[in-house]
Structure formats: C-alpha cells, structure tokens
Amino acid sequence: MQPPLRRSHLDQFVRRSTAENAAAQLREAIIGGELPMGAPLSEMAIAEQLGISRTPVREAFRLLAQEGLVQLRPFAGANVFHLNRTELRQLSAFREMLETAATEEALKIPGTALVDALNKVVSQMRDALKAGDTRQYLELDSEFHETVMEGAQNPLLRDAYQIVASRFKALRTAVVNDPARLKRSLNSHAALVKLFSSRDTEAAKAALLRHVRGSEEMLEAQPSLLQDTK
C-alpha cells in the first residue's frame, strides 16, 4: 500500500506545480515576444497578474534561468535574457555542432520516417506563409529543427539541444520577419529536406551549416537585438 504523503510533501508538490505553470506562461510570453529581450521582470507584478504568491514566481524565474530565458541578477532582480555578439556566436556554434551531429546520426538510420516528418512540417510552413500567419510559421521553423534532433534518436543530443532551443525560439520571434525573408527561409528548409531524402550526409551537413550561419548573420544585422555593437 502506498504510504500517505506528509503535508510538507503535498505543499512542495503544489508549489512546484504552481511554479511550473507560471514558468510555462512566462516562457510563452518570452518566446512570443510579449516580454521582449532585456525586459525587467517584477516578482510582485507577475504574481498579481497570475493570481499567485511571489514564491512560485521566484521559482519560475529559476526554472527559466536554467533554460537561459531569464537572467538573474544578485540584489537587482531578474530580466528577460539579452545577448551580446559573443554570446550569440557561442550559441550558434553550439547549435551548429548539435544539429550537424544529429544530421549525421539521423541519416544512418534506415527508412523514410524523418523525411516524411520534415516534409509534413515544411508543408505546414508553406500553408502558414500563405495564410500570413507569421507566428505559426516561426513555431513550425522551431519544430523543423527539433524534428531533426529527434530523428537522430539520441536522447543526449536532444537534451543538449534544449539548452539553446528556447532562446532561438525567442530570437526567431524578435527579428524583423518580412514576407521576402520568410519565403527564403521556406525555400531553405525545403532544400534541406531534399538533401535528407537523397541521404547525402556531407551535403546535408554543409547546407545546414549555411542555414544556421545565415540565421546568425541575420541576427547580427539587427543590432537592436544585441547588447553591444562590437
């Protein structure tokens, strides 16, 4: 028989659940751009908005800090993450290593499951672009790259990718996403799927590197997103 939980355990579970729910709402607001990069975060204001106490909000900040979405400043509160150029290049280099490694691993696995899944995402991206639904398109952009990571069937690669995934989701939202840029993005993703389908590993890795580096260059071209201009 399951022994009864002590009240202290139940209280911890409730606090953790409340904190995780608060973190989920804050994560969505950061990724969606409602809370812009660098914005200060007030425990009191957020607690009032969510109708909870400040303790789970503080814990939510800690959870999001582990994802890199929130920066905690000793004795100075918290703010939504903000990058300088060095940090952006480091994040991009980490992403390059993981996605190219995942591509190599994924293309060793027989079958068409990954290509089928990527084709489905690209089709949905095309529909979102036609409908003018930029937010949906950007969510699918993130899903495309997460699908590549899943295709490697390597939980260590997948878990490592989560270290940077949320920040790149927020960065995709923060850039100026005009129709011409999104069209180029769609074409780039479609070309990647063709290379995955051909199972040309080296060509697929090279194209993926160009894709990721193109995203980095686009971000660097918008200095308002970065803390410095060095």
Are 61 and 157 members of one domain?
A: no
* Residue 93 and residue 198 share a domain: yes
Three-state secondary structure readout of the chain: CCCCCCHHHHHHHHHHHHHHHHHHHHHHHHHHCCCCCCCEECHHHHHHHHCCCHHHHHHHHHHHHHCCCEEEECCCEEEECCECHHHHHHHHHHHHHHHHHHHHHHCCCCCCHHHHHHHHHHHHHHHHHHCCCHHHHHHHHHHHHHHHHHHCCCHHHHHHHHHHHHHHHHHHHHCCCCHHHHHHHHHHHHHHHHHHHHCCHHHHHHHHHHHHHHHHHHHHCCHHHECCCC
Q: What is the distance between the alpha carbons of residues 170 and 164, in angstroms, rounded to a whole number? A: 10
For residue 226, the model assigns a pLDDT of 81
Domain count, the chain: 2
Res. 227 pLDDT band, cuts 50 70 90? confident
Are 125 and 31 contained in the same domain? no
Residue 2 lies in a domain: no
What is the structure's pLDDT at 4? 52
Q: Among all chains, which residue has been given the structure tokens 């090279």?
A: 206
Does 45 fall in a domain? yes
- Phi, psi of 72, deg, nearest 5: -95, 130
229 pLDDT more than 70: no
Quick one: pLDDT at residue 225?
77
Task: Decide if 230 is inside a domain.
Answer: no
- 1 within domain boundaries: no
Four-CA torsion 30, 33, 38, 43, nearest 10 degrees: -50
pLDDT digits 0-9 by tens, 118-140: 999 999 999 999 999 999 999 99
Q: Could you tell me if 103 and 183 lie in one domain? A: yes
Same domain for 129 and 42?
no
In the predicted structure, residue 10 carries a pLDDT above the cut 70: no
Say yes or no: 173 and 137 in one domain: yes
User: pLDDT tens digits for 132-178?
Assistant: 999 999 999 999 999 999 999 999 999 999 999 999 999 998 887 78
What is the structure's pLDDT at 16? 66
Return all residues near 31 (Cβ < 8 A) that are at least 6 apart. 69, 166, 169, 170, 173
User: Which structural domain range is residue 93 located in?
Assistant: 85-225
**Is residue 70 domain-shared with residue 90, that is, in the same domain?**
no
Question: The whole model's pTM is what?
Answer: 0.86
Whole-angstrom distance, CA of residue 15 vs CA of residue 176: 38
**pLDDT at position 1 over 50:** no
Report the distance separating Cα 157 and Cα 111, nearest Å.
20
pLDDT tens-place string over residues 71-107: 998 877 899 999 999 999 999 999 999 999 999 999 9
Percent of the chain clearing pLDDT 90 (strictly above): 79
Same domain, yes or no: 98 and 59: no
Sheet holding 77-80, edge to edge: 40-41, 77-80, 70-73
Single residue among 51, 80, 109 that ends a domain in this structure: 80
Q: Cβ neighbours of residue 82 under 8 Å, at least 6 residues apart?
A: 37, 38, 71, 226, 227
CA atoms within 13 A on the CB side of 14: 9
Domain boundary among 80, 101, 128: 80
Alpha-carbon distance 127 to 119, whole Å? Answer: 12
Residue 121 lies inside a defined structural domain of this protein: yes
Here the CATH number for the domain that contains residue 44 is: 1.10.10.10
Same domain, 75 and 169: no
Of the three residues 29, 52, 80, the one that is the final residue of a domain is 80
- Kindly report the average pLDDT of the chain as a whole number: 90
Domain identity same for 220 and 119? yes
pLDDT above 70 coverage of the chain, percent? 92
Tell me the C-alpha distance between 41 and 26, whole Å: 10
